[in-house]
Structures are given as structure tokens and as C-alpha cells.
Amino acid sequence: MRDIIMVPGIGGSGETHWQSRWEATDPRMRRFSPSSWDLPDLDDWIAALDWAVGRSKAEPLLVAHSLSCLLVAHWAQRTTHRASGALLVALPDPRSAAFPPEAAGFADPPVAALPFPSLVIASSNDPFGSIDYARAKADDWGSQFVDLGARGHINGASGLGDWPEGRAALAEFEAHLR
């Protein structure tokens, strides 16, 4: 069984967030741990993700939310480790007025294709990033793309609970990984 690394965005995905709910019920899932969830530093977050991936016995599957979608793209360009794939949910647009200024170091994500399979899931009314931006990044990264419809930022505030649609998407995506 492959490890699944949860890669939350700013704030670390609280108790009502689907990432935390999934992690609490699946022993394969563990969370990466940067120095600060609230003051994100790209180099620190890359090092924390690299350490978490390096601890895995085999190439893990990454499940990223929000800012960490950008992290995964940056990490993929700098690491010597490899993931088996990445589920990238609620990709924020660094050019958006809603993008947190403390995360400015995550802007300008690489445009090269990711070196592993990936799936971008986006909401048509995400206040942090447009569906067009998410689709364009999916194209840049060679990712599959899913428009989830109007689901806000696909977080705890979106009222998704355990987000069964997301679990199903993860299971289907993982089934097609080598």
C-alpha cells in the first residue's frame, strides 16, 4: 500500500476540512509539517515536503490543497525525490487580490509538466482562483482537470464534510497509478 501525504495550505486544514477528516480515518495518510502553517516560507515548505516524501518506502501520493498546489509544482522542480502522483485541489491564483501577501514566495509556479501524474480539481466560484486559471495550470502541468462546479474554496467552510466525491476521485486517480 502506498503512503499518502496530506499537503494542506495556509492554516494547516482544521478539523472540519476534508483533508483532516480523511487523515483521521486512513492510516496510510500523514501530514507534512512545515515550520509555520500561518507564515508560509517556500524554502521551508519545500524542505518539509521533501523530508516527508523521503520517509516513504515507495513513491507516495500527494494530496494538496490551495497554496500547497503551488508548493507541489515548485517542489517537483527542485527535488531529487519523486511522487507517484498528486491530487491538486483548489489551486489559488497568485495574481488574485485574495491571494495572501504572506505567501508571495509561492507565486510564479513553474509552467513545466509535472514529472508524475496529476489531477487538478477546481471550483467555479473559488474566491482564491478562477476556474480559467486552474484549467491553464492543469494544461501547463500536464494534469487531468475536473471542474467541480460551485463549491467555494473546497475547504471546511464549503460544507463538504468528508467530501465523498473527493474520496472517489482520489481512489479512481490512485487506481490508475503505477
d(CA 32, CA 167): 19
- Tell me the average pLDDT across 77-106: 96
pLDDT, one tens digit per residue, over 9-68 is 999 998 999 999 999 999 999 999 999 999 999 999 999 999 999 999 999 999 999 999
Beta carbons of 28 and 82 less than 8 angstroms apart: no
Give the CATH number for residue 102. Answer: 3.40.50.1820
- Count: domains in the chain: 1
Q: Which of 27-36, 88-97, 124-133, 149-158 has the lowest mean pLDDT?
A: 149-158
pTM for this structure?
A: 0.97
Domain that holds residue 29: 4-175
Sign of the four-CA dihedral 95, 39, 138, 159: negative
What is the distance between the terminal CA atoms of the chain, rounded to a whole angstrom? 12
pLDDT, one tens digit per residue, over 99-145 is 999 999 999 999 999 999 999 999 999 999 999 999 999 999 999 99
pLDDT attached to residue 93? 97
